[in-house]
Amino acid sequence: MEFDDYLAQKNINAVFFRQQEPETYEQWKQVFEQIHPESFTAQKKFLLNDIRRKYQLR
């Protein structure tokens, strides 16, 4: 699974996230590529909610 696909599943607009917070996006992408998506979700659960509120898919 690609990171942008994962973000879409979590109802996060990857394009806006990448544009507005490129450092965070790249850090998360590197971590995502190293671990299982479920582990990533568990690790970033509360942070994902904040990002979802800021960059929600419409």
- Residues of the domain holding 8: 3-54
Q: 37-54 vs 22-34: helix axis angle to the nearest 10?
A: 160
Which residues, in sequence order, are CB contacts of 57 under 8 Å at separation 6+? 8, 11, 12, 13
The pLDDT assigned to 20 comes to 97
3-35 tens-digit pLDDT: 999 999 999 999 999 999 999 999 999 999 999
For residues 45 and 3, the answer to whether their CB atoms sit within 8 Å is no
The pLDDT assigned to 58 comes to 80
Where on the phi/psi map is residue 56: left (φ > 0), alpha (ψ -120 to 50), or beta?
beta
Q: Which two tokens stand for residue 47?
A: 């942070």
34-57 tens-digit pLDDT: 999 999 999 999 999 999 999 998
The pLDDT assigned to 9 comes to 96
What's the structural domain count of the chain?
1
